[in-house]
Amino acid sequence: MTERERLIQLLVTLVLDGVITEEVAEQILDAYDKDGTLPLGWVLPLPLDEAIPLNLVDLVNEAVQDFFTTLRVSPDAAEDDFIRIVTNLAEQLGRGTITLSQWHSEMVNELIIYLAEQAQTGAQRVMTEDELDGLYNATLFQLLYLTRFADMIATGRQSSAQVESRSILYAGEGRAQWYEKNGATNAMFGWVVDYIAVDDKNTCGPCANAEANGPYLPNDASAPLPGRICRGRGYCRCVRLLRYDPEVYTRLSGLTA
């Protein structure tokens, strides 16, 4: 991908997102074609085929295999590690010790590994094809969000503090992956899960509702997941706890009339 193609890729995204008009995009491209300059404060983002790796399925599968033998009782340790890493990357980008392209490709790697780590350590067994597909799709979505995010940084529209706090939001989907896969593993007769809203119940409505509407069957695909439904995303510390309650289980699974 040439530099010019990367610029066009960025301009198209910005026009589609309504950040700039088509007219402004054309002016920017004209200026670039004349003397190779970009607007003040702009840098070129990572080429799309690196932002969304072509071999993403393989990368996700390899990352999953790396965690087959890792046992974790909660998603917290991996989440804390991920937040530490992305905070550090945001700081390096802010200081200018790494370029936007370097930052973006590191974020791509970290996200693939982190989501696979959470899904696999939550599952504690070999995941099914459907679960691997779900993880792949979740990873793809996060990488697409990341591409939009990088485009905003490329045009100087994000401060260092914004880059840091927005990077942390990506941790939330990993938390959801852990609880989702762990729930499926623990789908046994008599077991239900309670959603425990640890976050501020006055400010996070979705989490408070999730707690009030429980309990749920552990493998209920429509049940709320911490980090995904929470407004705090990566800041969410809500949990789902397994509880043995055959009576509630029977009612939830519709085994009684």
In the complex, the residues that contact Zn ion under the rule CB under 5 A are 199, 207, 230, 236, 238
Q: Classify residue 73 by burial, with Cβ atoms within 10 Å: 0-12, 13-18, 19+.
A: exposed
Nearer residue to Zn ion within complex by CB, 10 or 236: 236
> What are the angstrom distances between the C-alpha of 147 and each of 52, 53, 175?
8, 12, 21
CB of 175 vs Zn ion, minimal distance in Å: 9
Distance of CA 60 to the CA centre of its chain: 14
Nearer residue to Zn ion within complex by CB, 173 or 199: 199
Spatial distance between the Cα atoms of 230 and 243, rounded to a whole number of angstroms: 22
CB of 200 vs Zn ion, minimal distance in Å: 9
Q: Classify residue 20 by burial, with Cβ atoms within 10 Å: 0-12, 13-18, 19+.
A: middle
Nearer residue to Zn ion within complex by CB, 119 or 238: 238
CB of 234 vs Zn ion, minimal distance in Å: 10
Nearer residue to Zn ion within complex by CB, 43 or 239: 239
> By three-state DSSP, how is residue 146 classified?
helix
Taking phi first (over 0 means left), then psi (-120 to 50 degrees means alpha), and beta for anything else, what does residue 156 get?
left
CB of 108 vs Zn ion, minimal distance in Å: 26
Give the residue closest to Zn ion by C-beta: 230
CB of 71 vs Zn ion, minimal distance in Å: 25
Nearer residue to Zn ion within complex by CB, 107 or 207: 207
Residue 243 belongs to what H/E stretch? strand 239-244
Nearer residue to Zn ion within complex by CB, 28 or 230: 230
CB of 163 vs Zn ion, minimal distance in Å: 23
Q: Is 241 in contact with 211 (CB distance < 8 Å)? A: no
Two tokens, residue 77: 């340790």
